[in-house]
Amino acid sequence: MALLKPGDKAIPFTLIGVDERHYSLVNYTQSKVLVLIFSCNHCPYVRAWEDRMIKLQADYGKQDVQLLAINANDAVKYPDDSFAKMKQRAYDKDFNFPYLYNEDQQVAREYGAERTPEVFLFDRNGTLRYHGAIDDNYEDATAVKHHYVRDAIEALLHEQEPPITQTAPVGCTIKWR
């Protein structure tokens, strides 16, 4: 289970993105909602949810919501998760959010992330307000009954409590060194 629990503060980080720029948590302190998703290239769960991740950013970006995807997988054991392959995946899928490389796995360890994808959603004060899965059906976007991340974003944009603050992340395990 994650080290961070709803109510905890975001842990600062600086990571390089596939665009070769550095991204820090402090760059997003003015965002109304920050959605960190530990992700990767090869996991079938991530691949199933990727289009929904892109749609979340497209739907909420103009409302000052920012999604950041972070890949912490060991690229030696899993070459498909290398920085070069991350760049290609972001290009192929036309990611509309930063895709960050956590090569030393420190950020994933500090957050207590265990799966890909695994969501940590923070409010404008940097407080964790939701942790878990993107929604309740990775296999079929049309069969989703509970839109956990979308519902949490909507609640926070309307200055309300998210209806659900924690679910079990569903996905592949992070590939540790």
| Structural domains of the chain, with CATH | 31-173 (3.40.30.10)
Residues of the chain where predicted confidence (pLDDT) is lower than 50: none
- Report which residue type is found at 172: C
CA–chain centroid gap for 152, Å, is 14
Radius of gyration (C-alpha) of the chain in whole angstroms: 15
Structure tokens at 95: 């990611």
Determine how many CB atoms are found less than 10 A away from the CB of residue 40.
27
Q: What pLDDT was estimated at residue 2?
A: 63
The terminus-to-terminus CA distance of the chain in angstroms comes to 19
Helix intervals (H) in 19-173? 44-60, 83-93, 106-111, 148-157
For 37-53, what is each residue's pLDDT tens digit? 999 999 999 999 999 99
Cα–Cα distance for residue pair 131/33, rounded to 1 Å: 13
Q: What pLDDT was estimated at residue 125?
A: 96
Q: What pLDDT was estimated at residue 59?
A: 98
Burial of 104 (C-beta count, 10 Å sphere; 0-12/13-18/19+): exposed
